[in-house]
Structure 1
Amino acid sequence: MSLTDELAAFIQTDQGEFNALSLRLFGYQYAHNLPYQRFCNGRGQTPETVTRWQDIPAAPASAFKRFALTCVPESECVKVFHSSGTTGSETSHHFMSADALDLYKISLKAGYERHFPLLPLLALMPPPSQAPHSSLSFMLETLGAEFLWGESSADQLCHSLAGLSVPCTLFGTAFAFVNFFDATSSEHFALPAGSLVIETGGFKGRSREVEKSELYALFTEQLGVPPEHCFSEYGMSELTSQFYSQGLIGPKLAPPWLKTRLLDPVTGTDAVPGQPGLLAHYDLANLNSVLAIQTEDLGVWDERGGFQLLGRAPGAVLRGCSLLAE
């Protein structure tokens, strides 16, 4: 069985061993991704010396801005996802081979279906035709979402949502929701019972910023969706898998093919339990780039499982798919 087939089988059936698959994928990426190979050599960590997934070198997320981290020639990649950024800022580029894109589709579907029922999906996001390099727009299209972005005015959109007769899942960036609520502040209605809301978090200083508790109160006040039916998605253009959390204080939970370490920013070793650390993600669905990514996000372990996201480390560059909503 090919490496791609083994990874797909693990994602779809949980049949496989994370450590063994991680080491096999690391060996493939070390051999074919030359910038990453040089990075690993500089750290003295190669497939000959690494025996645990935790010791696979995690490439800084910022490396996606400076290097083409791809295992196949750029000309053979069928898709390139960009991170969001402020005007003129440097963005990440995540190159996708055909096999990598197919594995991404498998991963995003399997991860979503672990958390949510298959309700009609409505997206307050631009479609791929308007945002061809957005991994989030691609994800929503793959999930069969109906894109509401730019299709009507806020009042017309409000009227359409108020007229729904079956439960739905409404997915959008945090400040897309805030902009919608500001434009329809006098409108209050209830989505059909059983409806869900998924927000991607983050304002990045680009619109009126509200606390998460206020945003979730607006979901209830203006959409009739209780907090326990509100969810948050955490993802990155550099990853091909997603974390989800429920309600105001639910931890970020990952599927079995995505693991996380919290690292002390000074020592680079595992953070002391209860203390914040930098998030390093190990994603078996990252076939064509690097499976291990060191982020600039801070988190802390949650005793219920997963982690609480604390935000960007001081001085980190602004990032987030939510910028697309402007």
Structure 2
Amino acid sequence: MNYEMILAGKPYSLGRVEKRELFSQWLTELTEYHRQHCLPYEKLLKALKVPSGKNMEEEEIPMLPIGLFKNMELMSVPPTDVFKTMTSSGTTGQEVSKIFLDTDTAGYQQHALASIGADFFGEERLPFLVIDSPDVLKSRELFSARGAGILGFSIFSSRICYALTSDMELDMEAVEAFLKRYKDKKILVFGFTYIIWKYFYKALAIQGKKLELKNGILIHGGGWKKLISQSVSQEEFKMRICSVTGISHIHNYYGMAEQTGCIYMECPCGNLHASVYSDIITRRTVDFTPCEFGEKGIIQVLSPLPRSYPGHSILTEDEGIIIGEDDCLCGRLGKYFKVTGRIKQAQVRGCSDTYEG
């Protein structure tokens, strides 16, 4: 795999024909690599009768159901090479996914996140307001996507302030001091959707407080199921957050612990975008054949970056609609889509933004 080539370009610079050709090549090569280095994956390919050495198109790359990462320890490197284990947080009593990272894979994923982030809010280091507790980062060897998100976006930061205490209480004194210090600066704000809603927005609303964050850029993801159950739409979320902070630049993103770094950011047109580090296919629930654009199906995510574990082609438990490719009005190349919800009968997964306290 030529990772220098994968990481060298801009995140939304590949058109359909070139990207399809490269992803078919990269993902075929990764499939063979994981076949040779991960025994459970090799057994799966044998069971699926996937022949070795076959050049495959994207749609032919074998998919791992995302639930397998909860039930099996899948790695394609020796255990001694694993320096970090990612987990997807689960609600009480649920199994969590374990993703095993070596230094190379972690580096590739961090580079992807940095490149995607820079495309949306520039390369300048910004004051960073984290809507979470610093306790999330206590275990550096075993931590969740929640902690990984904080660490990942912290590469854009010049100074960090955590808005919540260890007890998930809003630390108004610390936040106001931080905003006073950087009142004329652009500020990057990051958090998981449900935590922002429950522990930040609601705390401000109850106290009748408003923060001066009109120069802020809010990046958030995950937890929509909980908000939808409370009849909170994306539009209302943005409106309510703006009402207590003044933030008008709010970007949702779609991502998961199983492919950390390869996030799908929401553009100003309201669409989620695949980058050069990832791609998306939607599949029909009846026979798993690929959907047409505009047709709702189960989301499959692909990425050439996972090398320490076989996470390059994953069938999620989410449904979505691919709207188009290379022609979003925001100007970014690649597929763009919307997530419509969870598939029926899927186990309710504990999002990495869920705080059980």
TM-score by length of 1: 0.88
Residue of 7, 30, 40 corresponding to 1:11: 7
In structure 1, what is the equivalent of residue 351 of structure 2? 320
AA matched with 2:173? Q
SS at match of 1:323: coil
In structure 1, what is the equivalent of residue 338 of structure 2? 308
Q: Establish whether residue 58 from structure 1 lines up as the match of residue 63 from structure 2.
A: yes
SS at match of 1:113: helix
Residue of 170, 186, 200 corresponding to 1:167: 186
SS at match of 1:10: helix
SS at match of 2:190: strand
1:8 CA drift (Å): 3.9
1:122 CA drift (Å): 2.1
In structure 2, what is the equivalent of residue 130 of structure 1? 138
Q: Is the CA contact 2:282–2:298 (under 8 Å) kept in the aligned structure 1?
A: yes
Q: Establish whether residue 112 from structure 1 lines up as the match of residue 117 from structure 2.
A: yes
Residue of 173, 193, 199 corresponding to 2:220: 199
1:176 CA drift (Å): 1.8
After TM superposition, list the pairs within 5 Å mapping 1:12-51 onto structure 2: 12-13=8-9, 17-51=22-56
Structure-2 separation of matches of 1:315 and 1:130? 35
SS at match of 2:189: strand
Judging changes above 3 Å, is the alpha-carbon distance between structure 1 residues 109 and 286 closer, same or farther for their aligned structure 2 residues?
same
Judging changes above 3 Å, is the alpha-carbon distance between structure 1 residues 142 and 8 closer, same or farther for their aligned structure 2 residues?
farther
AA matched with 1:160? A
Residue of 188, 194, 203 corresponding to 1:183: 203
Judging changes above 3 Å, is the alpha-carbon distance between structure 1 residues 269 and 11 closer, same or farther for their aligned structure 2 residues?
same
Structure-1 separation of matches of 2:9 and 2:74? 28
Unaligned runs of 5+ in 1: none
Q: Is the CA contact 2:146–2:353 (under 8 Å) kept in the aligned structure 1?
A: no
AA matched with 2:128? L
Judging changes above 3 Å, is the alpha-carbon distance between structure 1 residues 8 and 107 closer, same or farther for their aligned structure 2 residues?
farther
1:310 CA drift (Å): 0.7
In structure 1, what is the equivalent of residue 332 of structure 2? none
In structure 2, what is the equivalent of residue 233 of structure 1? 253
In structure 1, what is the equivalent of residue 165 of structure 2? 150
Q: Is the CA contact 1:175–1:325 (under 8 Å) kept in the aligned structure 2?
A: no
Structure-2 separation of matches of 1:129 and 1:309? 29
Unaligned runs of 5+ in 2: 329-334
1:7 CA drift (Å): 1.8
Structure-2 separation of matches of 1:36 and 1:192? 49
Structure-2 separation of matches of 1:325 and 1:250? 30
SS at match of 2:265: strand
How many residues in Structure 1 have an aligned counterpart in Structure 2?
Answer: 318
AA matched with 2:270? G
1:320 CA drift (Å): 1.6
Judging changes above 3 Å, is the alpha-carbon distance between structure 1 residues 232 and 147 closer, same or farther for their aligned structure 2 residues?
same
Judging changes above 3 Å, is the alpha-carbon distance between structure 1 residues 324 and 116 closer, same or farther for their aligned structure 2 residues?
farther
AA matched with 1:287? R
Structure-2 separation of matches of 1:208 and 1:53? 35
Structure-1 separation of matches of 2:115 and 2:173? 33
SS at match of 1:196: strand
Structure-2 separation of matches of 1:206 and 1:184? 17
Alignment RMSD, CA only? 2.5
TM-score by length of 2: 0.81
Q: Is the CA contact 2:227–2:233 (under 8 Å) kept in the aligned structure 1?
A: no
